Amino acid sequence: MMNLFATEVLEKEECHPGPDVCYPELDEGGVLPKKLWQYVNNNQPYFFRTLLTTIIFLFFFSLTAFCIKPDFVVAKDGSGDFKTVQEAINAVPDLRKEQTFIYIKNGVYKEKLILPDTKTNVKFVGQHADSVILTFDDYASKKNQSGKDIGTSCSASFFIHGNGFTAENITFENSSGPVGQAVAVRVAADRVKFLNCKFLGFQDTLYTWGYGAGARQYYKNCYIEGTVDFIFGSSTAVFEECRIYGKKAGYFTAASTPDSAKYGYVFIKCSIEGDAPPASFFLGRPWRPYAKTVFIDCTMTAIVKPEGWNNWRKESNEQTVFYGEYHSTGKGADKTMRVGWSHQLTKEQAAQYTLSNILYGWNVND
């Protein structure tokens, strides 16, 4: 049976229905999503059509009561409050306890963005994830004014320092190409969420820069791509139902978890895939000796190397890291081929990997 209410409802710019703010796919009348309208009128009995139409009208009418008016709207064409994302960030009151909602209309925004630590509880919502692109093209070996390399940390397109940041329906990109380390997003804040976002780049795409449990991060239904160490850093981070996409060859992760943190990276129900050749990607290697990375209920394609993990040319790391899996499936999930110093979790051990435990009580639904 068709799920009548499975269509996506976007965050709104205004509290009235409109084809570019409320519903992504509308019929000519401007009210019913096309697929629902076709279903209702597809040879259904008159009584059923009437009842179903009434239910759908009431459902979408009720949505308007929950519209959230943005604090600021960003639009390249000048139809919003600001033309650039950084202008909107700058307008956020410092240390605000309430959430500041910034709605970003479709467009490619080439800006090197900084969310300072004084800009707390900021939420970005894009009009469409594929069409709102925040991008820049710095890279580690690019020279600064003194003729020196700017370095990996300074190559980021977006620096996040404000606690309580949320992004939804946005693509974050480093567009410099395969030129070595080039970060799309560097997260140095605590309680940071990304929902239905994309992270595009090559080496070092996503830098979870913050230190351990003091920089908790949650990624849900996101797409993250890259080549070498393209998810790396010391933060505690959960990736749930994400697509982790390997290009060419390399390492999916390079955690530098501090020894004081119980959890590092945890991937839950993710798809580990890519267009790289078979057996060309390690699940991870330790940037620091106490790296912790665990995959739970993940699907792994043949691009994953049979041995799974790499010690970064240092045998002593094998005694200090914690690399684990539970119920991996797919052509890249053969546990009999994994290195002996990795772990296959028991059911009891896997049960400890709840969001509340991993993120030290932070409720990501708040």
pLDDT range class, residue 144, cuts 50, 70, 90: very high
pLDDT at 188: 98
Q: Look up residue 26 and give its DSSP letter.
A: B
pLDDT at 132: 98
The Cα–Cα gap between 172 and 174 comes to 7
On the question of pLDDT at 192 being above 70, the answer is yes
Q: The tokens of 55 are what?
A: 């239910």
pLDDT at 251: 98
The Cα–Cα gap between 231 and 142 comes to 21
On the question of pLDDT at 43 being above 90, the answer is no
**CA geometry: angle at 331 spanning 345 and 354, to 5°?**
30
Q: What is the mean pLDDT of residues 261-270?
A: 98
By the 8 A CB rule, do 86 and 115 touch? no
3-state secondary structure of 304: strand
On the question of pLDDT at 31 being above 60, the answer is no
Task: Count the residues in the chain.
Answer: 366
By the 8 A CB rule, do 264 and 353 touch? no
Measured from the Cβ of residue 53, the count of other Cβ atoms closer than 10 Å reads 17
Q: Which is higher by pLDDT, 41 or 243?
A: 243
On the question of pLDDT at 103 being above 60, the answer is yes
Q: What is the mean pLDDT of residues 211-236?
A: 97
Spatial neighbors of 169 by CB under 8 A, at least 6 apart, are 10, 11, 125, 126, 127, 128, 129, 132, 195, 196, 197
pLDDT at 29: 37
pLDDT range class, residue 51, cuts 50, 70, 90: low
85-96 residue pLDDT tens: 999 999 999 999
By the 8 A CB rule, do 221 and 242 touch? yes
On the question of pLDDT at 3 being above 90, the answer is no
List the catalytic residues.
204, 229
With the CA atoms of 90, 95, 98 and 102 taken in that order, what torsion angle do they form, in degrees rounded to the nearest 10? 20
Q: Going from the N-terminus, what domains does the chain have, and what CATH number goes with each?
A: 1-69 (no CATH), 72-358 (2.160.20.10)
Which run of H or of E encompasses 344? strand 343-344
pLDDT at 4: 34
Tokens 């390997």 belong to: 246
pLDDT range class, residue 68, cuts 50, 70, 90: confident
By the 8 A CB rule, do 167 and 175 touch? no
Measured from the Cβ of residue 179, the count of other Cβ atoms closer than 10 Å reads 16
pTM: 0.84
pLDDT at 17: 28
pLDDT at 41: 58
Percentage of the chain lying above the pLDDT 90 cut: 81
Q: Cα 288 from chain centroid?
A: 23
